[in-house]
Amino acid sequence: MDRNRAITAGDIAAARAAFSADRGNLIARNAVSAAGIAAAARNPEAAALATTTFDIQLEQGDITDQKRSGRCWMFASLNTMRYRVMKKLGVKTFELSQAYPLFWDKLERANWFFENILATADLPLTDREVAYLLTDPLCDGGQWDMFRSLVKKYGVVPKEAMLETFHSSNTSALNQYLTRYLRGGAKRLRDAHAALADENELSALRTELLGGVWRVLAICLGEPPTSFDVRIRNEKGELKASGSYTPQQFFAEFVDMDLDDYLSVINAPTSDKPYGRSYTVKFLGNVVEDGGVRYVNLPMDALKRMAVAQLKDGLPVWFGSDVGQSFLSEDGVLDPAAFEVDQLFDLPIECGLDKAARLDYGESLMTHAMTLQGVNLDEAGAPTRWRIENSWGDDHGKKGYDVASDAWFDEYVYQVVVDKKYLTADELAAFESEPIELAPWDPMGALAD
């Protein structure tokens, strides 16, 4: 190590003198010491820009609450689906079970994990891919393609058919113990492979391990129903739905959505991901037989064009973003101007990296999925502000809704899910082309929770 690069007494003295000589530093110190960075940097003008009335505004049911779980991607997906149920039945509110897909995702993701453990069994534990697989095999987070795989296989059920439990709403301990069990299972599978176990022996061991996963899930979440009775009345007391259904039948009749028509479109303006190309992420998925994820990378204007078109047609839009950035949570406002941090510190903190650099340097990635339920447009038809349905309860933001400026959308939205009819022929051809495989740790493989 070069001693010439060490911090010296002279360096410290110069820093002290420069700090004390600037009156703004002293004012900022007093404000931050008393109230914290967020309060001191909060821009009241940004908070005042929020609105509750939009040019295009879809009316959803009661706000949902994922509580202490990382199921935002499930809640956002189910919120787009329950909207269809409500419109079909003419009811003001309705909720699909979020515990139901949680059960199946944990089971399928355990199987996915064991599949990849066997696929990498000849690699040493020190290999980066093996280490990645073992790091967090059973977190709550996910992406739209993974939810689509679950619904195609297992359907959906009304909330009454599989209610919340303590551990569906508080998943940390469930994840902790299941993860430990999975890592133990990984060791057993790798040891059996090293001992030259044949395919039948490995398959039997995998089946045994999955039986253990089912046991833990059934104890913590209850067993998912194979069929259930439905009675749904509207506000006038009129019976709008009645009968016995399987989860697949309920989805087909009441959600009535061609899942394969809905595609993931991303915006990753980094040099390693040219626009107009299809991408997948190694090891990212849950249902083995349905494969992994697929996106097409397009400029942000394309994402916004598609989202506005789908909203105009009366359907909400699933989207993924870095929700923790520039977020006045109590006000429910997302705006790059929300906090004047650079002015507070007189340093290029927020403006030091553009969107591409934030992805490249680990400053930002998709962290949360929500649902677009409205948009304001200027005279030219371009979006100015977005209405967002969150899944943090109705005591958050504006009765459960947030408002994002279009500038925030540009900077921190990474993915939208739209009907393929909103893609041009060239965009659709790009999506359907052979995907480029990204590394497991690529930021576009981030899971929304």
Hey, what are 53's tokens?
Answer: 């009335």
CA-nearest of 307, 311, 266 to 431 is 266
Residue whose C-alpha is closest to residue 446's, from 284, 292, 300, 287 = 284
CA 319 – CA 307 distance, rounded (Å)? 9
From the list 382, 418, 397, the residue with the least C-alpha distance to 333 is: 397
Question: Which residues lie closer than 8 Å to 275 by C-beta, 6 or more apart?
Answer: 297, 298, 299
The span from the CA of 47 to the CA of 229, in Å, is: 46
What end-to-end distance do the CA atoms of the chain give, in Å? 41
Q: Is 362 left (phi over 0), alpha (psi -120 to 50) or beta?
A: left
Please confirm, yes or no, whether 72 is among the known catalytic residues: yes
Q: Is 368 a catalytic residue?
A: yes
- Determine how many CB atoms are found less than 10 A away from the CB of residue 5: 7
Q: Of 167, 220, 297, 368, which one is the catalytic site residue?
A: 368
Catalytic residue, chosen from 72, 111, 167, 175, is: 72
Check if the beta carbon of residue 245 is closer than 8 Å to that of residue 232.
no
Q: In one letter, which amino acid is 230?
A: V
Using a 10 angstrom Cβ sphere, with 0-12 exposed, 13-18 middle and 19 or more buried, the burial of residue 259 is: middle
Q: How far apart are CA 286 and CA 294, in angstroms?
A: 13
Query: How many distinct helices (H) and strands (E) make up the chain?
Result: 17, 14
Concerning whether 390 is annotated as a catalytic residue, the answer is yes
What amino acid positions are annotated as catalytic residues?
A: 72, 368, 390
